Amino acid sequence: MSKEYILSDGSRISYEEYLGCSSEDDKPPVFCWPSSFILSKYIEMHPELIQNKCVLELGAGIGLPGLVSAVLGAHKVYFADKRENKMAQLLLERNIERNGLQSIGQWYPINWGDCYPFEMDHPIDKLDIVIGSDLFYEPKHLESLVMTIASLVRYHSGLGLYTVYQERSCKRSVGKL
């Protein structure tokens, strides 16, 4: 399904989602989570955070915040999601191409728990900003996600981290992280 995100200056970012066809469909849905819109708007309001910077979007899914970063002047954007999530990779590559961002955007497979840079096929030389939306929705993955983020922070000095999440339960919180 094709959709558009309209930036405040009126320019448009086109993106494709996959919501799944049936209960027999073995491909997981890949769509724009609610927090992606909030993070995208925040980046629009603070473009100095990403301009001329190397950005990594963790848990990118369809990659809206990363696409916004690329359109607003990021030097390079890596769209990271699970290695085995071939549907996310396909959609990200299509979304990069449909917005003419092939020279800026690139798929970057990473799993929660990967220790950067040791478990990466191609480590990033200099990373400035990590962004992510709805990264903390699954409690059983928190520890491995934090391990991956910590390894990124250790490797890239001065790394900025911007994340947004939607509270889904009053019984759990990321506040202690």
CATH superfamily of 33-164: Vaccinia Virus protein VP39 (3.40.50.150)
State yes or no: pLDDT of 175 exceeds 60: no
Q: What percent of the chain shows pLDDT beyond 90?
A: 58
Span 119-138, mean pLDDT?
86
Greater pLDDT, 19 or 105? 105
Q: Report the C-alpha gap between 171 and 153 in whole angstroms.
A: 29
Q: Report the C-alpha gap between 35 and 59 in whole angstroms.
A: 12
What dihedral do alpha carbons 135, 138, 142, 147 form, nearest 10°?
Answer: -60
Residue type, 155: Y
Residue length, the chain? 177
State yes or no: pLDDT of 23 exceeds 60: no
pTM for the structure as a whole: 0.88
State yes or no: pLDDT of 12 exceeds 60: yes
User: Which contacts (CB < 8 Å, 24+ apart) does range 9-13 have?
Assistant: 11/71, 13/64, 13/67, 13/68, 13/71, 13/99
Residue type, 5: Y
DSSP states along 101-149: -TTTEEEEE--TT--TTTT-SS--S---EEEEESTTS-GGGHHHHHHHH
Q: Report the C-alpha gap between 108 and 110 in whole angstroms.
A: 6
pLDDT in tens, 133-160: 988 777 788 899 999 999 999 889 899 9
User: Three-state SS for 65?
Assistant: helix
Least confident piece of the model among 11-15, 92-96, 151-155, 167-171:
167-171
| CA 103 from centre of chain | 18
pLDDT in tens, 73-99: 999 999 999 888 888 899 999 999 999
Q: Report the C-alpha gap between 91 and 97 in whole angstroms.
A: 10
